[in-house]
Amino acid sequence: MPKLGNPTNTIEVLRKYHFVFQKKYGQNFLIDSNILNNIVDTADITKDDFVIEIGPGIGSMTQYLAEAAKEVYAVEIDRALIPILQDTLAEYDNVTIINEDILKVDLKKLAEEKNGGKPVKIVANLPYYITTPIIMGIFESRVPVESITIMVQKEVAERMQVGPGTKDYGALSLAVQFYARPFIAMIVPPTCFMPQPKVGSAVIKLIRHEEKPVQVKDDAFMFSLIRASFNQRRKTLVNGLQNASGLQLEKKDIVSALEEMNLSATVRGETLTLEQFAQLSNILYKG
């Protein structure tokens, strides 16, 4: 089977199987071999690596991953793609295809059972409609992961990288930066996909911190604070936190915590750094 990462071979496979694109699954297949090579280079895949690919589609990127890695597990939700993948990946004996929703797969268990608990590398041209739950799920469920190299919507990649004082700063920026060091490796135009998405895309690599940048008594509590602060972006931090039903915080405790941190009672959550959120959560945590 020739490499798929070009328009001619992609169209040929799609025709052969009478494949119908499912919009609900965010299907935009890569048809540019330079971009595919660059993604695998950015992910820094070697013959020692166990790779999990999310959403292989017709296998265009999987072919490159299979050649570079020791082993590839590819999780694809669309049942119609499974016979296609069995065909396009037939010559690789180090690829396992799993027909499942990635949000339902226990990746921690998979890494433990198939890679002896050693860190895996995750690589994907993600379905954009579930980018955030996929990334948060990987980090929060403590999957042993060394790096995550993903194609996402350009704006989302930017959101992961920014700090306070920018309009894109939010819960996703803080969560990603708590767990990993992000960097945007390349910007990818819609013309590199079939069908073309309506938005620009970017490849971002998240390299997991060996040691977290801040010490927190309870990660989940800090993220509840962060979510509550950004849920009501235009409110002051005090109002945002005291209105959040799950937190049950009293106004006087929040004001006194801010005082202890030398912050004004009218400060907005969007101006706080990760260090400040960590400090605030350590003061307010009553575990």
List the beta strands (DSSP E) in the chain.
Answer: 29-30, 50-54, 71-76, 95-99, 120-125, 145-153, 180-188, 193-194, 201-208
Tell me the closest approach of the beta carbon of residue 135 to ligand SAM, in angstroms.
13
Q: Is 102 in the site for ligand SAM (CB under 6 A)?
A: yes
Nearer Cβ to ligand SAM, position 22 or 264? 22
Which of 13, 40, 43, 61 forms a contact with ligand SAM (CB under 6 A)?
Answer: 61
Q: Which stretch binds ligand SAM (CB under 6 A): 77-85, 138-146, 181-189, 219-227?
A: 77-85
Residue with tokens 């119609």: 80
Q: Is 115 in the site for ligand SAM (CB under 6 A)?
A: no
Amino acid at 120: V
Return d(Cα 32, Cα 142) in angstroms, integer.
33
Which of 125, 149, 229, 242 forms a contact with ligand SAM (CB under 6 A)?
Answer: 125
184, 202 in Cβ contact below 8 A?
Answer: yes
Return d(Cα 154, Cα 216) in angstroms, integer.
30
Identify the sign of the CA torsion 34, 62, 8, 25.
Answer: negative
Which of 52, 66, 75, 228 forms a contact with ligand SAM (CB under 6 A)?
Answer: 75
Amino acid at 277: F
In the window 128-167, what residues touch ligand SAM (CB under 6 A)? 130
Q: How many CB atoms lie within 10 A of CB 136?
A: 16
Tell me the closest approach of the beta carbon of residue 241 to ligand SAM, in angstroms.
33
Peptide linkage before 195 cis (omega within 30 of 0): yes
Which of 76, 237, 241, 279 forms a contact with ligand SAM (CB under 6 A)?
Answer: 76
Return d(Cα 154, Cα 128) in angstroms, integer.
10
Tell me the closest approach of the beta carbon of residue 50 to ligand SAM, in angstroms.
18
Nearer Cβ to ligand SAM, position 36 or 274? 36
The CB-nearest residue to ligand SAM is 55
Nearer Cβ to ligand SAM, position 71 or 78? 78
b/e per residue 210-222 (b: at least 16 CB within 10 A): eeeebebeebebb
Q: Which stretch binds ligand SAM (CB under 6 A): 69-77, 141-149, 167-175, 239-247?
A: 69-77
In the window 24-53, what residues touch ligand SAM (CB under 6 A)? 25-30
Tell me the closest approach of the beta carbon of residue 217 to ligand SAM, in angstroms.
33
Largest CA distance in the chain: 67
138, 107 in Cβ contact below 8 A?
Answer: yes
Tell me the closest approach of the beta carbon of residue 31 to ligand SAM, in angstroms.
8
Q: Which residues bind ligand SAM (CB under 6 A)?
A: 25-30, 54-57, 60-61, 75-78, 81, 101-103, 125, 127, 130
